């Protein structure tokens, strides 16, 4: 299966999700989530959603859930416009995020695999992520 046409739309969703992350949260919640990500307790997943990789406060858990709800809404909207599934749209965005937005030291997960910490090298993406860079 090829998801190439979705990568352009995925870039738009990444922008939407990033804007939602920064505009919808009070500064203290953004700080808590940023700290959890820096500590390796929250990370990006190949399915296009944030995941909890360690023990976090209820406030951080609520922020992750709120962001994922907004991401799903954006994926749903674009998927309907493009005639693809929400899962395909989310995965295409997940590929873009893993390839371009996860910074060294941050954690990420591919599929149901173990959480990994990004080093200096690019993340080895799943085969369906061809041309995600």
What is the structure's pLDDT at 10? 57
Tokens of 37: 């990500």
Beta bridge pairs of residue 109:
45
Look at 14 and 23; give whichever has higher pLDDT: 14
Distances (CA, A) of 54 to 37, 42, 107, 114: 10, 7, 10, 12
CA dihedral 48, 53, 55, 60 (to 10 degrees): -20
Report the predicted TM-score, pTM, of the whole model to 2 decimal places: 0.79
What is the structure's pLDDT at 35? 95
What is the structure's pLDDT at 130? 78
Distances (CA, A) of 125 to 1, 22, 108, 129: 15, 27, 11, 6
Mean pLDDT, residues 7-36? 60
Distance CA 37, CA 22 (A): 14
Residue ranges covered by each domain of the chain: 6-119
pLDDT in tens, 51-105: 999 999 999 999 999 999 999 999 999 999 999 999 999 999 999 999 999 999 9
Percent of the chain with pLDDT over 70: 76
Tokens of 121: 């090298």
Tokens of 131: 């041309």
Instruction: Look at the alpha carbons of 20, 26, 27, 31 in this order and tell me if their dihedral is positive or negative.
Output: negative
């Amino acid at each position: 299966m090829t998801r190439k046409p979705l990568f352009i739309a995925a870039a738009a969703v990444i922008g939407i999700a990033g804007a939602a992350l920064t505009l919808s949260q009070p500064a203290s919640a953004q700080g808590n989530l940023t700290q959890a990500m820096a500590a390796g307790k929250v990370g990006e997943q190949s399915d296009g959603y944030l995941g909890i990789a360690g023990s976090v406060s209820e406030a951080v858990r609520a922020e992750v859930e709120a962001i994922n709800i907004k991401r799903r809404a954006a994926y749903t909207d674009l998927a309907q416009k493009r005639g693809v599934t929400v899962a395909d749209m989310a995965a295409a965005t997940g590929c873009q995020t893993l390839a371009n937005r996860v910074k060294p030291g941050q954690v990420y997960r591919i599929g149901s695999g173990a959480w990994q910490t990004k080093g200096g090298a690019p993340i080895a993406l799943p085969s369906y992520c061809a041309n995600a860079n």
